[in-house]
Structures are given as C-alpha cells and as structure tokens.
Amino acid sequence: LRKQITADEHKSISLFDPSAVPTKRRIPLVFENLRIHNRLVAPRSGGPIERHLAYNPEIRLRHNQNGFSVSFAALEYCEYGRVHYHYKLEGFDDYWIEARNNHEVNYANLPAGRYLLRVKITSNDQSVAETENAIPVIIRPAPWRTWWAYGCYFIVAGGLVWVLVGSWLRIRAGKAAVRVAEREKEQERRMNAMIRSFFSNVSHEFRTPLTMISGPVAQLCEDPGLSEQNRRLLLIVQRSTDRMLELVNQQLDFSKLENDTLRLRVRRTDIIRVLQRRIDIFRVNAATKGISLQTCGLEETCVMWLDEDKQDKIFGNLMSNALKFTPGNGRIVVRFDMIGHDKAARLFPGDAAVRWMRYVKVSVANTGADIPEDQREKIFERYYRINNRTEGSYNYGTGIGLYYTRSLVELHHGRIKASSPEELSGALFTFILPLDDEAYPEQERSSESPAEIPPPLGRRGFRGGFRTRTHRRAGAEKRVGARRRCRRGQLPLHAVVALL
C-alpha cells in the first residue's frame, strides 16, 4: 500500500505522498547593484550599465574605472542564513572564492580585458540546489594601450630607427669625406711644399747671376767717359736687374711666409723719405703711360720703427697694381697722414688688432674700374682672381700679390683694406702701421744704425738737381760705401740702385 500522510487543514484534509516531495530546493540568484570607486551606478544609456543588473547586462568600464564592486542575493526569505555564496572572476581568478554570507564582491586595479563574474550558492545541509549566475565585465584599455596606439608607436619607432640609421650613414659618409678631404689636403700641402721648395731653390739660383750682372753694371755707370745716352741705357738695365732681384726676394719671402719663418726687423727710419724714393721710381713709369701721379702729405718727415724692406714691398705692390690698372691719361693719388686710435678704429671697425694710440696711414687711389663691394675682401685671399679682366680686375695674374701684401702689413702689426675713393672712380687701397714704440717688441728691433736714405730725384733725373765735379766725387764715394754695406747685409740693394 502507498503510504499517505493526511494533513488536517482548515475544514479540509490534504493527502500527499512524502516520497514525492523534492529533497533540494532551487533558489533564484540575482545581481543587485554596481558600485565604482564606492559610488552607486545607475543604469543609463552610454554608461557602464544600460539596464539593471538583474537583467545581466554587460558591465563596460573605462581604464580608470577598474575598481568596482557588485552585490547579489539569493531570493530566500525564510532561511537565508543557511545560504553560502561563492564567486570567481574568470580571466583573473584561478579558483572559486568562498564569501559565506557576504552579498558583495570587490575588485581593484584590474587590467584591461574581458572577464566573466560567476556567482553560485550552496548550503551546509544540502537542502538547497547549487545555483549559479554570471555577468560579463569588460574593462577598456587606456588610449595609450589600444591597438591603434601601438600601431602609432610602431610607426614612430620605425621612423626613429630610420632617422637614426640615416643619420649614422650620413655621419659615416661625412667622416669618410672628411678623411678623403684631409688626405687630399695633405697631398696638396705636400705638393705646395715641394713647389715652394723648388721655386726657393730656383730663386736662389737666380740671385747669383743677377748679382753678378748688377755689379759690373754699377761699375760701368761710374765710368766718367761714358756718354749720357749709354748711361741712361745702363740705368734701365740696372733698374730691370733690381726689379728681378726684388721679385726673387719676394719669392723667397713668400716661401718664408708660408713656412711661418719670415720675421720683422725694424729700425728707426723716416718712412716719408722711403715712400718718396719709391714714388720717384714709379713716376717715370707713370709718365711713360701718360698717368698723372700726385702726392699729398709727403712734405715733412716721420721717423718710426720700420722694416724698410717690408714697407718697400707693400708700397711697391700697391703702386704696381695702380699703374697696371690705371688707363692712359688717368690719375694716381698717394696720401700720407698720421692718425689717432679713434680714426683708425673707424677705418677698421670691429678689428681687435687696432689697439695702439698712433698710426701712419698710407693710401693709394687710382682711376679706372672699381672693385665690386662683395669682392673687396676676397681679393686679399691667396690665388683669388676676379674673372672679368676687361673691367680692370685685380689679381688676374698669379693671385698672390695682394695676399702677400696683406701678410706683410699684418706682420708689421698693421691693417689694410680696399674701398672706393670718394673723389675718383676707381680703387683705393689703405693701410695703417702703428707709430707707438710699444707695438714693436725688443726681439723685432734691429740694433743697426738707420740706413742713409738718399734724397728724391731732381728735375733732371739727378739727386739734388744739377751735379758739379765735387758732387760727382762725393757721390762716387757714397756709392762705394753703400755697396760695401750692401755686401755686408747692412743696406738693401735697392738703396744702392737709388744712389746711381
């Protein structure tokens, strides 16, 4: 027989079979609230949740909302104390975590990713069926950790590597080019040294025959039985020989200048008489070309520490250029002046070498084509030449004349510049030399007595005007003494020539 249980209810009787009653009850499990950083979040469109958690919506959090809590509950109102909760965040937890009677789970500092929050309930007496519920949780990555950000990083890194590799290759190529340029420069330096050595040796070989020619010519000029016409011819030969000797000496000085062995030797000398003597020589050539040669400021005397040889070469080069580039019926003006530091500083602004109190200023101006303003500094560079020769260009020869002149001026502690004259249409070269004794140290000063400088030429081509027999005898004795000093190195050869 079937066992039945009768239950007396209110005016009724209920019969049931105990074996048909289930032993475990199924209790619903639902999610309740979401809190982010301990703040309750309400459902809204575009928010972390768009519906209540009871409907199990996706929880979408930003990278800075990775600290949250979710509450849940089992719908058991009688014996809710016997219900135990367990949870697990798939993708983060490796095992189930027992929460006992706690209805809330908390997570903080979760990395970006997709998770699944699972919650289940159990009871100690096994009277409640195990029920589980789950809700997806999505934490979006920070903008700098998204795929497109990593793509940008990759592009930037690739570009940086490209730039670095390109820079390294350019630096490597630049270093290789520098090494090649240095080798070429070294080869050029050696070649120039060989060329300078060759020309120095050839110049030394030229000096001996030129000196042998100059001596007999000077003796022939002293012959009293020599006719005036032959004397003039011999004087032309003498001047040509002296000019060749001067060029040879300039070549030797240029070699010394390149090797930094050229030294300044100054002594007390009247610079005005030195300039007058050179002007008298160039006056003959100027008259041959129909050029007017004018001077200004050369009427007095000015004794200073001066390297007469260097001064002759400086002024001679400037006068040679002026004669070369002045057209027929043109004009050359030579000016001499003594100036102070202020005028010198205005003449050469910004030049730290202009520091002495007194200077002599010598300028040579000539008519003709002027020098372009953008090339007035370049013409002093070695081997530089202005291309347009038809317009009176300067340095169209070897290109070392003005470079040599500037080097000598700077060796004499002076400065030189090119400009355009105010009253003429042509070129103006101006150089200054210091007058102060302090500008020349003791090692540059010569202990020799100043050389006697002959007076300028007279109107008839003789020094001091017309000659008498007594004057000729005195002149012959003076020339003999000058030649002796020249052989001992005490008097330059051009000074002996000037005595003729």
Amino acid at 253: D
Query: Residue 476: what pLDDT?
Result: 45
Query: Residue 42: what pLDDT?
Result: 92
Query: Residue 3: what pLDDT?
Result: 52
105 has a pLDDT exceeding 50: yes
Residue owning tokens 């080069």: 317
pLDDT tens track for 138-191: 999 998 888 889 999 999 999 999 999 999 999 999 999 999 999 998 988 888
Tell me the mean pLDDT in the region 207-222: 80
Quickly state the pLDDT bin for 436 (edges 50, 70, 90).
very high
pLDDT tens track for 359-388: 999 999 999 888 888 888 888 887 676 655
Quickly state the pLDDT bin for 303 (edges 50, 70, 90).
very high
The closest of 191, 283, 180 to 239, measured between CA atoms, is 283
Residue 313 contacts residue 252 (beta carbons within 8 Å): no
437 has a pLDDT exceeding 50: yes
Query: Residue 386: what pLDDT?
Result: 65
Query: Residue 458: what pLDDT?
Result: 39
Quickly state the pLDDT bin for 20 (edges 50, 70, 90).
low
Q: What Cα–Cα distance (Å) separates residue 458 from each residue in 335, 454, 461?
A: 21, 12, 5
Quickly state the pLDDT bin for 500 (edges 50, 70, 90).
very low
> Is 428 or 489 the better-scoring residue by pLDDT?
428
Highest mean pLDDT among 443-447, 480-484, 496-500 belongs to 443-447
Please report, rounded to a whole number, the percentage of residues in the chain having pLDDT higher than 90. Answer: 38
Quickly state the pLDDT bin for 46 (edges 50, 70, 90).
confident
